[in-house]
Amino acid sequence: MNDNSYLAVMERRNKIIKDSMQINYQDFENEGVGFDYEKMMASTGFTLAEVEKIQLENRVGKTPLVELKNLSKYARKFAPKGHGARIFIKDEANNLSGSFKARRAAVSVYQAKRLGYKGVIAATSGNYGAAVAAMAARLGLKAIIVQEVYDSELIGQPEIIEKARACEAYGAEVVRLTVGPELFYKFLLLLEETGYFNASLYSPYGILGVETLGKEIALEALNNYGKYPEVVIATNAGGGNLTGTARGLLKAGATKTKVYAASVNLTGLHMASDKDFNKKSFTTGHTGFGIPYSTFPDRSDVPRSAARPMRYLDRYLLINQGSVFFITEALALLEGMERGPAGNTSLAVAFKLAQEMKEDEIIVVQESEYTSAGKHLNAQLDFAKKRGIKLEFGNPLLEIPGKNIIFPKSAKEIAYQELNLDRLRLSYLKHYRGVTLTKKDKEYLKDELKLTETEIEDLVKKL
C-alpha cells in the first residue's frame, strides 16, 4: 500500500510522471542549470510530416486562414493614412473539438495508444480537456479530465462548467475540484491508481502538435499572398500555443516573422486564491498564467516543460477584459463569426496593432475557438455582475481586475499595454540568484531568454 499523504505523493511525483509518459527527463539534463531542449523535443521520434498525417486522419489541421476584411476596414477608420494592416485569423474552431488544442491532443493520445495505455488523463480547465476526450473517443481509450471548477462555496465558473459538459459529451470522466494545491496532488494519484498516460499540455508531444499550426500559417500566407506574415500574435497562458506556433513558423522558413504574445490583463488577481478565483471573466489566456509560466516554465506537471515562450517571443502585449468583449461582438457583427474569448484576446490586440502597421502588411491571429453557452460573453458578464464586478464604459486602461470591467465607448479607445521583456527575464533569472553561472549555463540561457551572452551578464548584475 502506498502512502497517499500529500508529502509522500509529491516525493514520488517524478517516478509517477516517468511511468505515465515513458519519458526519462534525466536524459536531457546538463550539468548546471540547463538542459538539452532540442534533444527533448526530438525524443518524440515523430517528424512534422508524421504529425500532420496523424492530425489529418483525425480531422485536425488544415484549417482556413481567413482575412477579416470588414474588421480590417474598421481598424483603418482610426489609423493614419497608409496604415491599417490586413488582419487574418487562423480559424481553428474548424478542428475536431473546436480549438487548436486538438492539435496537441492528437499527438499525445496517439502516443498513448501506440504505447499500449488503456486511457489518458489531463489536468485542465480549458479546451484541452475536450480535445483529449474527443481524441480518446476516436482511438478507443478511456479519458479522465481533472478540473479546478469551484471556489470554497462551490460556485463554479460558467466557462469551466461548460467545458466539463463538452468533456462528458465525448465520454470522459470529469473530476471537479475546488481551486488550490489539490489539483496536482489528485492528478498524480489518478495517474498512479489507473496506470493511464499523462497527456500533459507541457510534454514534447503537445508542443510538436502545435508546430503544424505555425507551418500552415507561414505557407498559406506565402502561397496565397506572396509573403510570410509580418506579425503573428498568439494568446499566451501556459506558453505552449506560442512556443509551438513559433517553432512551426521557423521550420517553414518564416524566420523574419515577429511573434507577439497577448494576454488579458488580470494583474492583482491570484489564480490560486479562493477569493480571486471567480472575480475573473477569463479562464485562460490571462496574466495569471501567462506571466508565471513565462518566467518559470518548469512550474508545470512535468520536470521540464516543452512550452518555453521566452525563447521565441518578440513582444508581450496586454489587453483589458472589456476590449476583448468589445472585439468579440465586433467579430460577430462585422464578419458573421461568433468565436470564443481565447483567440479574441489576440484579435483585440491585433485590431489596435494593425493601426500602427502599413496597410500592405499582414498580421495573423493564430487561433480561434468555438463558443457556447457558458463561454459566451453574456454568460461571463452576467456572472461578473453577480460577483459584484461593475460594468462600465470608459478608458480601458483604467480597468481594475476584480473591481470592474471597462468597455471602450468606441473602437478608437482600444489600447494595449506592453510588458518590458527584460523585466520578465530578470524574474526568470531570480530563480538562479546566488548561483555562479558557468559558460555552459550562459549558453543555455542565451537560447532560453533570446539574448546574447553580454546581455545575460548585464541582467545578472542587475539582480
DSSP states along 350-416: HHHHHTTSBTT-EEEE-------TTTSHHHHHHHHHHTT-EEEES-GGG--TTTEEEE-SSGGG---
Centre a 10 Å sphere on the Cβ of residue 82 and count the other Cβ atoms it contains. Answer: 9
pLDDT at position 416: 98
Count how many residues are written for the chain.
463
What's the whole-number mean pLDDT along residues 272-291? 92
Partner residues linked to 77 by β-bridges: none
| Mean pLDDT taken over the chain | 96
Rounded CA gap, 388 and 385, in Å? 5
CATH says 54-95+205-419 is which class?
A: alpha beta
Q: Please, which pLDDT band fits residue 455 given cuts at 50, 70 and 90? A: very high
88 pLDDT above the threshold of 80:
yes
Q: Cβ(79)–Cβ(357) under 8 Å?
A: no
Locate the domains of the chain by residue range. Answer: 54-95+205-419, 421-462
Give the confidence band of 425 by pLDDT, cuts at 50, 70, 90: very high
Query: What b-and-e string marks burial along 437-450, b requiring 16 or more CB atoms within 10 Å of the CB?
Result: beeebbebbeebbb
Return the closest-CA partner of residue 370 out of 131, 70, 68, 136: 131
Runs of H (alpha helix) within 35-86: 37-42, 48-57, 69-76
pLDDT for the residue numbered 20: 96
Residue of 91, 90, 174 lying closest to 128 (CA atoms): 174
Q: Is the pLDDT of residue 125 over 90?
A: no
> What is the reported pLDDT for 449?
97
Stretch 258-262: mean pLDDT, rounded? 98
Q: What is the pLDDT of residue 80?
A: 97
Q: What is the pLDDT of residues 175-234, one digit of tens each?
A: 999 998 788 999 999 999 999 999 999 999 999 999 999 999 999 999 999 999 999 999
> Which residues, 6+ apart, have CB-to-CB distance to 61 below 8 Å?
52, 55, 95, 103, 212, 213, 216
**CA atoms within 13 A of residue 255's CA, in its CB half-sphere:** 1
* CB burial readout 313-324, b (16+ within 10 A) else e: bebbbbbbbbbb
Q: Which three cell numbers stand for residue 14?
A: 517524478
User: How far is the first Cα of the chain from the last one, in angstroms, to the nearest whole number?
Assistant: 47
